Amino acid sequence: MRFDVRFQNKTLPVEFVFGTDVNIRRLLTWRKCANSQASPGVADTLEYARYAAKRWRSYRQERRTMSSYDELRDAVKQQPRGEFVFVLVALSKWYPPTSLSGFCFCRRTWCHHIVVDLAAVHPDAITVGNAQVKGIGTGMFYSLVKLADMLRVETVWGEATENSAPFYQKLLGLPRVTDHFFITGQVFEHCLRGYADLPGKA
């Protein structure tokens, strides 16, 4: 999958793909990013990246990690009640220092839901040279819901923090989000419409 973002009045592509061991190990380099005091959300972002890499290693040892759509689809067919882990990563090749610009650490549960355990955008992809990159988080989540639809998953859910709740509220078109969000029913359809409107989607 791919979508476009805006940076310095330019439209630039982001690839949103299943992560590999190499991609996910690179999350550990996020701690070397800029000023950790830049905003309240930066500490959360670095913590999520570290947790994602650690949890991936643990699930990898249990042979429950999936690194492609076909691999995940086939695993679900073979084990309908199995729990599988996958990480979707946003790759922005036009900005090499932080080309891995975001991720969603997800679990497909035994009842065929997708849980977003961890999600973050690299701080340097949000503010690069004091110019904001617009659209990475939105593109990631709308693309995730499209993937869920392709897998015939009807519900995507996860935890929201005090820092992330306003983002989910706007993303999902809800009047209020507290410490969790559920993307199902009309909200799911809202996200599919959002995906259809993403610039440069593929």
Nearest Cα to 55, choosing from 101, 90, 19, 81?
Answer: 19
Look at residue 39 in the predicted model and tell me its pLDDT: 66
Look at residue 38 in the predicted model and tell me its pLDDT: 58
Q: Which CATH superfamily is domain 2-196 in?
A: Gcn5-related N-acetyltransferase (GNAT) (3.40.630.30)
Look at residue 2 in the predicted model and tell me its pLDDT: 95
**Domain assignments of the chain as residue spans, ordered by start:** 2-196
Look at residue 131 in the predicted model and tell me its pLDDT: 58
- Distance, in Å, from the CA atom of 114 to the CA atom of 58, rounded to the nearest integer, reads 19
3-state secondary structure (DSSP) of residue 85: strand
Give the pTM: 0.92
Q: How would you class 58 by CB atoms within 10 Å of its CB: exposed for 0-12, middle for 13-18, buried for 19 or more?
A: exposed
Q: How many residues make up the chain in this entry?
A: 202
Q: Which residues of the chain have pLDDT under 70?
A: 33-40, 96-97, 126-131
Look at residue 29 in the predicted model and tell me its pLDDT: 87
Look at residue 141 in the predicted model and tell me its pLDDT: 98
Look at residue 106 in the predicted model and tell me its pLDDT: 98
Residues 6 or more apart in contact with residue 47 via CB below 8 angstroms? none
Residues 6 or more apart in contact with residue 7 via CB below 8 angstroms? 128, 131, 132, 133, 134
